[in-house]
Each structure stands twice: as structure tokens, then as C-alpha cells.
Amino acid sequence: MFYPLLALLPRRFTRYDSATISKSNNAFTGDTIRGAMKPFSKIACIGEVMIEIVSQQTGDATLNVAGDSYNTAVYLAQLARGSDCTVSYVTALGQDTFSQRVVGHMKHFGIDTAHIERRADRNIGLYAIDTDSTGERSFTYWRSESAARTLFSTPCTVGLDVLGQFDLAYLSGITLAILPAPVRSSLIDALAAYRRNGGLVAYDSNHRPRLWENAQTAIDVNNAMWTVTDIAVPSVDDEMAIHGDTTEDAVLARLDAAGLTDGALKRGPAGPFDLTRSTSGITFTPATEVVDTTAAGDSFNAGYLFERARGSGQAAALQAGHDLAARVIGHKGAIIEI
């Protein structure tokens, strides 16, 4: 079943002139729309998609497809069905059987697969989830030689110039963490140029400490990334983990100092904090049943960004993101049909 909102979608989406996109005058502020309208229909999600192996109590295992930015792409694509909006996933895969299955998974959900690097000498990354008798989960990863780590590395058929084909580029801290340092820097520079040419950048600082060279590199790269971000969608937990903040107020003060005045700070059951400070009195109802929180933040990002893309105000976008996340965590697994 799809969201009933789909029937209400306009036939065109909107974005803003590059002149309105800056740290002092972000593209979107609250429920007020500024700047000249342009079609906003092309979204790129950039990152790594993996094969998920889930152990069962019977001793068997099931295979799923998941990954933080990929989860967001799947939910964006489902929300966009029936509209002019297209969602592309930009990544690198191998030429193995599992990689081909992932391409089929993308097509099933309506994700554009035209911008995927295929590496003959690399395979898709894997990770396994084991759950003990108390329900506690543990993860084992095989991703150090994954194809996604070669994204944008030369030689390549999908280069950084691919950004120019999209109106909005979405990526995460995991996207940056898996890339070699020179490629990571080039990507941030390319995003800066992309914004100067009118593109929008949305970023979630999703944090996996083991993926970074060291803690200071994670801090430095995230600080650099925030300077080229229009719409920030971090979680308070990740921001605390990266920077050592001990309170939500400390996180907000640091984000303010970085010039991040648009987006949402995810706070789990408490609901998102409006970084635009343009809304008040919104009540976010916690999920009635929590089964699996794996894709809570990823699905929030999809619901929130889709509403922003279709021209909804900040209040509606915050509510849409929260409601979608609450729905997703009521089911097992990162990806569900909506």
C-alpha cells in the first residue's frame, strides 16, 4: 500500500536559484518560499548498498539489501511513484551475482540505475546480523574491498561531473567514510561547485567510528561537509558521538555556529527539532510499536526531503519524516513496501 499523499502530488517540483543558496540565505527557510522557481525533479542518493545476511534461530539465514543512503533512496522512490520526481542511486558495484541482484532490487522500487559504476575486480560489500537470546544484535562486516569504496576513483565511468545531472544530492557520513581521503576531498569540492551552479545538498552525518581513519578525521571531514550543505538532517546521537557533545543544546549551538539553519535534528521518539526555528507547537507521537529501528533515520530523511522537494512547508516535512520513521520501525528489516 502506498501513501495516500501520492494522489495529492503536484506534477512539478520546485527548487531555487543559485543566488539564494548560501550559508546566510539557505534555499529553504521554514514555511516561506524564496527565490525563483525551477523544476525540481531529479534526486541523487550517493553511497554504498550492501547485502545483509540475517541469521535465523533455525540456523538458516536470509539475504536482504540495505545501506543507509540506499534505504533513503528506496523510500524516496516509493513516495515519488506517480510523480515527475526521479530518484537515482549513485554507487559502485561489482559484476558478481549479488551485485546484479541489487540492481534488480533497485529497479523493483523504481530507482534509476544509470549512474552505477561496475568494477570487474571488486564485489559488493556484505554484513551479517546475529541476534542473541535477549534480542541484542551484533554486526560483522566484509566491506574493506567492496566496489563502493572505489566510487569516483579513476579510472571510472561515473565521475564527479554526474552531480550536474541532478537538482538535489543526498549523502551521509558513511558515504564519506568509505572513500579514500583524496576522493573524499574531491567530492566535497565538487559539491561546493555544484551548489554554486544551483544544486542543493542534503547531508546526514550518520556515524560509524570503525569506518574512519581516526576520530579527528571524522570531525574534520564532517565540519568540511557542513560548509557545503543546504539541508542538514543529522541525529543528535551521531553528532554527540562525533564531537563529544554531552547535551542537545551543545549540539544545536555547534550546528548554529556552522551556519546550519535549515533542516532537522533527529531525536528519536522525542521527534525532530526544527533547525529553521520557524515552527512551534508540533506534537510528534512516538511509534506505538517498535520492532526494528535499523532504518529509522534513513526513512525519516526520505519523508522529510520528499515533502521539501514537493514544496511543502517545514511543519509538514517534519511530520512526514517522523510519521514514516514511526511506520518503518514497526516492521522487521530496513526496507518495507509503503
Whole-angstrom Cα distance, residue 338 to residue 141? 28
pLDDT at residue 278 tops 80 = yes
How much is the pLDDT for 132? 66
Find out whether 252 and 220 touch, Cβ atoms under 8 Å. no
pLDDT digits (tens, 9 = 90+) for 262-277: 999 999 999 999 999 9
Instruction: Spell out the domain ranges in the chain.
Output: 46-70+92-158
Which residue from 3, 9, 37 is spatially nearest to 337, judged by alpha carbons? 3
Model pTM? 0.87
The percent of residues above 90 in pLDDT, for the chain, comes to 73
pLDDT level of residue 11 (50, 70, 90 thresholds):
very low
Residue 33 pLDDT class (50, 70, 90 cuts): very low
Q: Which CATH architecture has domain 46-70+92-158?
A: 3-Layer(aba) Sandwich (3.40)
Question: Maximum CA pair distance of the chain?
Answer: 59
Given a cut of 90, whether residue 232 has pLDDT beyond it is: yes
**Phi and psi, residue 23, nearest 5°:** -65, -30
Please tell me the predicted confidence (pLDDT) of residue 133: 62
Tell me how many helices (H) and strands (E) the chain has.
9, 16
pLDDT of residue 147: 98
- Mean pLDDT score across all residues of the chain: 87
Q: Give the pLDDT of residue 139.
A: 80
Per annotation, catalytic residue among 161, 245, 298, 323: 298
- pLDDT given for residue 32 in this prediction: 36
pLDDT band per the 50, 70, 90 thresholds, residue 136 = low
**Per-residue pLDDT at 154 exceeds 80:** yes
298: annotated active-site residue: yes
176-197 pLDDT, tens digit per residue, is 999 999 999 999 999 999 999 9
